[in-house]
Amino acid sequence: MIITCLNCKKKFQIDPTLIPEEGRDLQCGSCQNVWFYKTEKGNSSPLTLNEDFVNKEIEDKFLKKNIEKTIENKKSVIKEKPKNKEKKIKTISDNEKTYIKKENMGGKFFSYLIILIISFVALIILLDTLKTPIINVFPGVEIILFNLFETLKDIKLFIIDLS
């Protein structure tokens, strides 16, 4: 059973067997507030609907209306077959809410990864080509470039050793 503190509104999970029918004092573990709690006896049996109260005519109209809405919703779904793994977008209208479902294309991540790797290699080649002019303009960069190229050589040797 979940009980809420009257002071700070924090909720607690409590075993219902710990609270007698006549009730008991409870203390909040957060704000130390003390209050009297008594369980309310209610009808624990589930509610049932008798068949006598259901009007078949109303039920048929309701089903017909739902079928018409479903048909309209299916017509509003844009169905396009993707060509060569293009994005497939479906728009589903449900009364006032509109849902847009985009299918995830996993190849996009790898495309970005390849572009990142190619850009990094191009930057290294550019730095290597312009190493002397860069060092003349920024003398403190010589140590950084030397360490970068040594690290790249170490990575190259590591990859070769893996093969």
Per-residue pLDDT at 66: 74
Residue range 51-110, pLDDT digits in tens: 555 556 666 666 777 777 776 666 655 454 445 444 455 555 555 555 555 555 567 888
Q: Which helix (H) or strand (E) holds 159?
A: helix 141-162
- Closest alpha carbon to 76 in 43, 110, 101: 101
Residue range 19-58, pLDDT digits in tens: 888 888 888 888 888 888 887 765 556 656 555 555 566 6
Per-residue pLDDT at 115: 93
* pTM of structure: 0.33
Residue range 146-163, pLDDT digits in tens: 898 899 899 889 999 997
b vs e for 34-52, b when ≥16 Cβ sit within 10 Å of the residue's Cβ?
Answer: eeeeeeeeeeeeeeeeeee
DSSP codes, 49-107: --GGG--HHHHHHHHHHHHHHHHHHHHHS-----SSS---EEEEEETTEEEEEE---TH
